[in-house]
């Protein structure tokens, strides 16, 4: 009797979940199982779950026989890891510096400005950057020329392209991450600063012994969580700024999957690359969430 009452009370909760579950099932779980085409000779006419020919690991063998595959993997790791490292460091420094500013108005204005690019799409930002970085007419090269330097083809030179991606990614995102660290600083107990002052600590000592330890949890948590993006070099950004002349340094797994799969219609081979990437990412993200959970009791849900 009691159980029935409980069920009746629970029923609306289940009903509320139905639309979300159906959509997730169709648009997330079906594509997940659709990844089996990586083991098939996919024929579009027969359809996603049609009677396709199974060819085992042939697609993977083909992918690894491609001459540029390791270059692409290396490019991905290089750009992604540089972004993670620099993307940790820069916001921490800015949060510390902003925290030292005592003019509230100046602090607020600066915050407002630095996280503006975060909300714009890479399409817009790439358009802006391509114009700014143009070797003939761009503002950056005009400035370099005025200072007596040669023009640099940031987006067309393999020596410069990865660094340009890293710097522009930081330009877009550092404001957002600065806010996260600033929030961590704000939650530090002011009593600690007062105690440090009584002990005669100067500004640096306070930063070193109070502020940074107070941010420690968030810093390590962010580091752990960033592990999951080691294979994400930033498709949106690179796709909008690269060109065949910088494939050597800028072609990443995601852009390769796009070209192979959708431009050349090599569905199966491209899905094989995608599966490898998703698989490794699953492992990395799981490890990162699990560590975050064990270390800091960080729960996603």
Q: Which is nearer to other proteins, 4 or 203 (CB)?
A: 203
Distance (Å, whole) CA 18 – CA 52: 32
Instruction: Please report how many Cα atoms fall inside a 13 Å half-sphere around the Cα of residue 217, on the Cβ side.
Output: 13
**205, two tokens:** 């000592």
With a CB cutoff of 8 Å and minimum separation 6, the contacts of 83 are 165, 166, 169, 170, 233, 234
Nearest by Cα to 258 from 276, 248, 245, 271: 271
Whether the CB-CB separation of 253 and 73 falls below 8 Å is answered with yes
Q: Using a CB cutoff of 8 Å and minimum separation of 24, what contacts does 260-269 make?
A: 265/44, 267/37, 267/42, 267/44, 268/37, 268/38, 268/40, 268/41, 268/42, 268/55, 268/59, 269/59, 269/62, 269/63
List Cα–Cα distances, 72 to 13, 157, 208, 223, 273, in angstroms.
Answer: 47, 17, 40, 24, 11
Q: How far is the CB of 261 from other proteins (least distance, A)?
A: 5
Q: How far is the CB of 58 from other proteins (least distance, A)?
A: 16
Q: Which is nearer to other proteins, 56 or 204 (CB)?
A: 204
Q: Which is nearer to other proteins, 9 or 67 (CB)?
A: 9
Distance (Å, whole) CA 241 – CA 45: 34
Q: Which is nearer to other proteins, 79 or 224 (CB)?
A: 224
Q: How far is the CB of 17 from other proteins (least distance, A)?
A: 5
Q: Which is nearer to other proteins, 57 or 262 (CB)?
A: 262
Q: How far is the CB of 21 from other proteins (least distance, A)?
A: 7
Q: Which is nearer to other proteins, 112 or 159 (CB)?
A: 112
Q: How far is the CB of 202 from other proteins (least distance, A)?
A: 8
Q: How far is the CB of 1 from other proteins (least distance, A)?
A: 17
Q: Which is nearer to other proteins, 78 or 239 (CB)?
A: 239
Q: How far is the CB of 34 from other proteins (least distance, A)?
A: 3
Q: How far is the CB of 127 from other proteins (least distance, A)?
A: 4
**75, two tokens:** 């490019």
Q: Which is nearer to other proteins, 26 or 57 (CB)?
A: 26
């Amino acid at each position: 009797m009691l159980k029935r009452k409980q069920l009746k009370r629970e029923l609306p909760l289940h009903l509320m979940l139905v639309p979300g579950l159906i959509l997730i099932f169709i648009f997330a779980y079906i594509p997940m199982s659709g990844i089996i085409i990586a083991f098939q000779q996919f024929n579009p006419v027969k359809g996603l779950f049609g009677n396709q020919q199974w060819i085992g690991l042939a697609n993977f063998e083909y992918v690894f026989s491609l001459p540029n595959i390791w270059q692409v993997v290396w490019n991905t790791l290089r750009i992604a890891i540089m972004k993670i490292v620099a993307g940790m460091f820069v916001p921490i420094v800015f949060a510390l510096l902003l925290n030292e500013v005592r003019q509230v108005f100046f602090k607020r204005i600066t915050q407002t400005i630095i996280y503006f690019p975060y909300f714009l799409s890479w399409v817009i930002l790439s358009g802006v950057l391509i114009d700014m970085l143009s070797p003939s007419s761009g503002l950056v090269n005009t400035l370099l020329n005025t200072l007596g330097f040669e023009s640099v083809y940031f987006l067309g030179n393999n020596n410069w392209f990865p660094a340009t991606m890293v710097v522009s990614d930081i330009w877009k995102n550092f404001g957002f991450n600065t806010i996260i660290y600033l929030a961590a600083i704000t939650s530090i107990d002011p009593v600690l600063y007062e105690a440090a002052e009584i002990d005669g600590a100067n500004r640096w000592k306070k930063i070193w012994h109070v502020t940074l330890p107070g941010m420690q949890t968030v810093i390590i948590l962010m580091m752990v969580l960033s592990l999951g993006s080691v294979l994400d070099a930033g498709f949106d950004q690179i796709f909008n700024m690269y060109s065949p002349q910088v494939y050597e340094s800028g072609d990443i797994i995601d852009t390769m999957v796009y070209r192979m799969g959708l431009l050349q219609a090599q569905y199966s081979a491209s899905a094989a690359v995608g599966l490898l990437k998703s698989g490794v990412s699953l492992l990395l993200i799981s490890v990162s969430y699990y560590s975050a959970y064990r270390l800091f009791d960080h729960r996603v849900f």
